[in-house]
Structure 1
């Protein structure tokens, strides 16, 4: 009986893993190489009037301590006006702001673009205010658009 219950729970868990609904991380495949993808996002950020805070090259940091890492870069950016409103909704939003998009490249040279789905933040930070939820929805649309555009040739 215990084995049957365990098999059922594992099967249920695996079915849940396949669902796109409620996914906390969104990933888009890029048509560009790693460097071009990052550069394209940085250009898009500036053209959209957003603030580019930093670009962190994790691979370069790993090499500085004589370690290996596949190409991995995080671009940190945002809109301080929207971010301030969100942090006024719940100060813990400061843990997830500014926005970040991660670029990774596997050994075959395929670059992917990943970001946290802002819908998750509403749960993580217990955001219930309509205005704040509206801003999170705008952030979701913006991140999706930026990631897809950065990945296009």
Structure 2
């Protein structure tokens, strides 16, 4: 994994759709609400443009998110949480998401509140095995 401008990217051994399927399944088991799944490649094709496979998953826990927004209303700009699965031009599939520590610093969150968004670490969600 590497962090770049508050974004963590992790290699996935699965295709973009399978990666998002796996993430979605684990989140649902954990009781996390899936708000949307956006196939950005399909949207690009609708306007006759080409894009490597790219899907965005929006998810969260309204109870956890509300406490974050009470503490810092502008965090709503980054909620619900998002995970992006994308295929690079070399065919490798990556999963990218906001580093919880970046959000902690950006919004001056307490350690206790950061726990509400720590679920986004895909390495915990077993995308690579």
For residue 38 of structure 1, report the CA deviation from its aligned partner.
0.9
Residue 80 to residue 111, structure 1, CA distance change in 2 (3 Å):
same
Q: Deviations over 1:81-120 (max 9, x none)?
A: 0000000001101100011000010233211001001211
1:115 maps to: 97
Uncovered stretches (5+) of structure 1, i.e. residues with no partner: 1-19
Residue 68 to residue 150, structure 1, CA distance change in 2 (3 Å):
farther
* 1:143 maps to 2:120: yes
Contact 1:70 1:104 in 2 (8 A): yes
1:84 to 63, 66, 71: 66
C-alpha distance in structure 2 between counterparts of 1:60 and 1:76, whole Å: 17
2:38 to 56, 63, 71: 56
Give the TM-score normalised by structure 1.
0.76
Over 4 Å off, 4+ runs: 20-23
For residue 32 of structure 1, report the CA deviation from its aligned partner.
1.0
Uncovered stretches (5+) of structure 2, i.e. residues with no partner: none
2:11 to 5, 29, 34: 29
For residue 22 of structure 1, report the CA deviation from its aligned partner.
8.2
Higher strand share: 2
C-alpha distance in structure 1 between counterparts of 2:18 and 2:55, whole Å: 12
Larger radius of gyration, structure 1 or 2?
1
Number of corresponding residues: 127
2:50 maps to: 68
Contact 2:83 2:97 in 1 (8 A): yes
Give the TM-score normalised by structure 2.
0.89
C-alpha distance in structure 1 between counterparts of 2:10 and 2:57, whole Å: 15
